[in-house]
Amino acid sequence: MTKLLVTGAEGQLGRSLRRIFDNEPQLAVTYIDIDRLDLTDKSAVDTFFDNARYDIVINCAAYTAVDLAEKNEVACSHINTDAVKNIAEAARRHQTKVIHISTDYVFNGKNFMPYAENDVPDPQSIYGRTKLEGEAVLKAYCPQSIIIRTSWLYSEWGNNFMKTMCRLGDEKHEIGVVCDQIGTPTYAHDLAAAIYSIITAEQWHPGIFHFSNEGVASWYDFAVAIMHHARKDCRVNPITTKEYPTDARRPHYSVLSKAKIKTTYGLTIPHWEESLRKCINNYLQL
Ligand SMILES: NC(=O)c1ccc[n+]([C@@H]2O[C@H](COP(=O)([O-])OP(=O)(O)OC[C@H]3O[C@@H](n4cnc5c(N)ncnc54)[C@H](OP(=O)(O)O)[C@@H]3O)[C@@H](O)[C@H]2O)c1
């Protein structure tokens, strides 16, 4: 029996993990979110870890409001960096393995080919910087950890681009969506399945891994596909980042290379549009 702790369990990835883990009787999983344990509270985290033993903690908790983070640096840093340090210190004391999730926004977006794990990060936003600092603190305390950087996460739950587009598709006949930010959407269910492969693999391979769905898209491409698969009668017009200013700067290009995670864990990753269709079908129960 493998004992798992999932933090941020009410978020998109946490709920996607639960959907997979609930069918796996060999896993004993504890799910927690901020209502049960505020991860920024060091003594509460210490007490929590002292009271139970886990083989692996999967940290899905984060401050994910990328634009709000620009005005709330302290809160963002508490969750994306200090809370990771609290988990890492407790995990080191109890020899608990850690899987932590990070982001494509650690890169500056000036690449023209998919980012590999050893490419040099250069975050352009508070969110990206605090996530990178979270990675660093975890590597320092628990060098045997696994860090998975992912991008453009969406699911049936929470706030995400897919759900926003579905709503706008009902409310508007026409919208503009940026076409000069290129990346890859990631269905949280596929990331959860990859995490399942990692925890059930024969060997634990520490280090950083990149994971997204296969393929490349702009937010415009993503929006067009959402309207199509959700059967919304809403025209999507391509606009530039300059025409849609946001508080946080986002990378123009943040496609992640999945070569390392595919080779290490023998994963086959679905194309983003195939996964989008599945998620929309689940969400709208088409
Ligand atoms: N969403 C994306 O597009 C995206 C892209 C790349 C990487 N990622 C990374 O992927 C991971 C999962 O993202 P997600 O979209 O599933 O996140 P999410 O839906 O925002 O869920 C995060 C969860 O963490 C909880 N949380 C926040 N502060 C906490 C605290 N102090 N103590 C305990 N729990 C706390 C949140 O609770 P509240 O809701 O009450 O705050 C929420 O339930 C994160 O590490 C994120 O940085 C996400």
Domain spanning 2-159+186-214+254-271: which superfamily?
NAD(P)-binding Rossmann-like Domain (3.40.50.720)
Q: Which residues line ligand 1 (CB under 6 A)?
A: 7-8, 10-13, 33-34, 38-40, 60-62, 64, 79, 83, 101, 103, 131, 150-153, 158
Q: Is 215 exposed, middle or buried (0-12, 13-18, 19+ CB in 10 A)?
A: middle
Dist. CA 27 → ligand 1 center (Å)? 23
Give the C-alpha separation, 144 to 123, whole Å.
Answer: 24
Tell me if residue 220 is catalytic: no
Per-residue pLDDT tens for 7-44? 999 999 999 999 999 999 999 999 999 999 999 999 99
In angstroms, how far is CA 219 from the centroid of its own chain?
A: 17
Q: List, in sequence order, every beta strand (DSSP E) within 114-173.
A: 146-150, 153-154
List 27's β-bridge partners, or say none: 2
Q: Domain-by-domain residue ranges, the chain?
A: 2-159+186-214+254-271
Per-residue pLDDT tens for 93-138? 999 999 999 999 999 999 999 999 999 999 999 999 999 999 999 9
| Backbone angles phi and psi of 282, in degrees to 5 | -65, -45
Residue closest by Cα to atom 2 of ligand 1: 153
**The model's pTM:** 0.97
Give the C-alpha separation, 22 to 157, whole Å.
Answer: 17
| Backbone angles phi and psi of 72, in degrees to 5 | -130, 55
Q: 146-150 and 207-210 as β-strands: parallel, antiparallel, unpaired?
A: parallel
Give me 120's structure tokens.
Answer: 């040099």
Residue type, 90: A
Dist. CA 179 → ligand 1 center (Å)? 26
Q: Which region among 80-84, 146-150, 245-249 has the lowest average model confidence (pLDDT)?
A: 245-249
Per-residue pLDDT tens for 200-258? 999 999 999 999 999 999 999 999 999 999 999 999 999 999 999 899 999 999 999 99
What pLDDT is recorded for position 286?
53
